[in-house]
Amino acid sequence: MHGHQQLALFSGYYQETCYQALHVYEGFSGKLITTILRPGKRPGGREIVSYVKRIVGRIRQQW
């Protein structure tokens, strides 16, 4: 598999492959910080923690 195909998950309900966009917003202004395209399955705790660490690291680089 290549590129986004690795993120695809087959949905038996819809009979199609699907992705899930994870949107992260800034709490005070409500502005979008980033969107992450991820597999269309329920994320585990480790997956979410890895996203948060990566986002916080990028924010610290910028400020």
Assess whether pLDDT exceeds 70 at residue 4: no
pLDDT of residue 18: 74
From residue 32, alpha-carbon distances to 2, 15, 18, 36, 61 in Å are 28, 31, 22, 11, 18
pLDDT, tens digit (0-9, with 9 covering 90-100), for 9-55: 666 777 777 778 889 998 999 999 999 888 777 777 898 899 899 99
Number of H helices, E strands in the chain: 1, 3
